[in-house]
Structure 1
Amino acid sequence: MEFKDEAFGFGWNLVLRLRNESHKAMRAICSDNGGDFRNSRFENFCRDLDLEHQFSSLCTTLQNGVVECKNCTLVEMAWTMLDEHRTLRHFWAKAVNTACYIANRIFLRAFLGKTTYELRVKHLRAFGCRCFVNKKAGHLDKFESRCLDGIFLGYASSSRAFCMWILEAKQVVETCEVSFD
């Protein structure tokens, strides 16, 4: 999610996915008092699904302690990643997504020695590091460069690809065809 106005769509998809995967009736949903969820659109959604919409008290982080702690951890990780390679600040959403990707792959319970995913670290790279995206061979001149300079921005959410900022084109691409410096 890069913009706050996308919150409804994410919340809607999450609720429907949880209902389908758990095969149990969901009775309530709890959110903060932000305008993202306190609106007629979300209220109608909750009413249609027969969900009680509960809100935490204003300025009371204790009611959302686990979420606030996780959010703080992700923001600190993202800030560190952006700062390490002096990556542009407008990539903050990519940095937070990468922080979440990494956090989901570290130990869930240290004493159990397990993670939420089967541990695979070979593909992990430093956020903001220099990379080279391979160009497609069919459209190249004989002496044209075979790669584009880029900056690593994290991992694609829907495939096993990397997200890159192509410096020359000033655009984000998702690809597996990449080499790292």
Structure 2
Amino acid sequence: MLCESKLPVFFWAEAINTACYFQNHVLINKARMKRPYRILYGHKPSVNLFRVFGFPCTLLHLDSNPKFNAKADDYYFGGYAARTAYRVYNKKTKQIVLFG
């Protein structure tokens, strides 16, 4: 995933975290014939939130900004956080932040 996204090497931890997230949501446990997520939480996982690792995205600033300030920043999708949040990498500040 890291090579395909053409991101720098320091994203390796995010790539491994995202691969584990996919495996827990998609692969089936042969002993129980259920996915690990369903065994743990008791319901089917939602796969409509899946995104491609490393894709460029833009997030808008919803707070009140002066007229000529930037209204959006460029990010790279870096993986998933707890249940509904995404981890994105801000190109300007060079930090990974939670979104969602």
TM-score category by the smaller chain?
Answer: 0.7 to 0.9
2:84 maps to what in 1?
Answer: 160
User: Identity over aligned residues, as a percent?
Assistant: 33
Q: Which has the higher contact order (CA 8 A, sep 6+)?
A: 2
- Length, aligned pairs only: 94
1:84 maps to what in 2?
Answer: 4
TM-score of the two chains, using structure 1 as the length reference: 0.47
The question of whether the paired residues in 2 share the 8 Å contact of 1:105 and 1:116 is answered with yes
User: Is the aligned partner of 1:148 residue 2:68?
Assistant: no
1:1-181 residue pairs with structure 2 within 5 A?
81-109=1-29, 114-117=34-37, 118-138=44-64, 140-156=65-81, 158-176=82-100
Q: Which segments of 5 or more consecutive residues in structure 1 lack a partner in the other structure?
A: 1-80, 177-181
CA–CA distance in 2 between the matches of 1:154 and 1:129? Answer: 10
Larger radius of gyration: 1
The question of whether the paired residues in 1 share the 8 Å contact of 2:61 and 2:72 is answered with yes
Runs (4+) of structure 1 exceeding 6 A deviation are: none
Give deviations 1:107-156, integer Å, cap 9, x for gaps.
32369763222131111111110111222422x12243322100000011
CA RMSD of aligned residues (A): 2.0
Q: Which segments of 5 or more consecutive residues in structure 2 lack a partner in the other structure?
A: 38-43
Higher percent of residues as helix? 1
CA–CA distance in 2 between the matches of 1:171 and 1:107? Answer: 31
1:113 to 1:145, Cα distance in 2 relative to 1, 3 A: farther
Q: CA deviation at 1:94?
A: 0.8
Secondary structure of 1:104's aligned partner: helix
